[in-house]
A and B are shown apart, each in its own frame.
Chain A
Amino acid sequence: SQQGEEDPQALSIQEGENATMNCSYKTSINNLQWYRQNSGRGLVHLILIRSNEREKHSGRLRVTLDTSKKSSSLLITASRAADTASYFCATDAGSNYQLIWGAGTKLIIKP
Chain B
Amino acid sequence: SAVISQKPSRDICQRGTSLTIQCQVDSQVTMMFWYRQQPGQSLTLIATANQGSEATYESGFVIDKFPISRPNLTFSTLTVSNMSPEDSSIYLCSACDRAHSYEQYFGPGTRLTVT
Q: Which residues of A contact B (CB under 8 A)?
A: 1-2, 30-31, 33, 40-45, 48, 88, 90, 92, 96-99, 101-104, 106
- Take A42-B4, A92-B102, A96-B48 as given contacts and tell me if A101 and B43 are in contact as well, using a CB distance cutoff of 8 Å: yes
Task: List B60-115 residues whose CB lies under 8 Å from chain A.
Answer: 90, 92, 94, 96, 98, 101-109, 111
A97 to B4, CA, bound (A): 18
Question: Which residue of A41, A99, A106 is within 8 Å of B102 (Cβ)?
Answer: A99
In chain B, what residue has the closest Cβ to A103?
Answer: B42
In chain A, what residue has the closest Cβ to B96?
Answer: A97
Question: Interface range on chain B: under 10, 10 to 19, 20 to 34, or 35 or more?
Answer: 20 to 34
> For B108, what are the chain A residues with a Cβ–Cβ distance below 8 Å?
41-42
Question: Which residue of B30, B106, B109 is within 8 Å of A97 (Cβ)?
Answer: B30
Question: Which residue of B33, B59, B101, B109 is within 8 Å of A31 (Cβ)?
Answer: B101
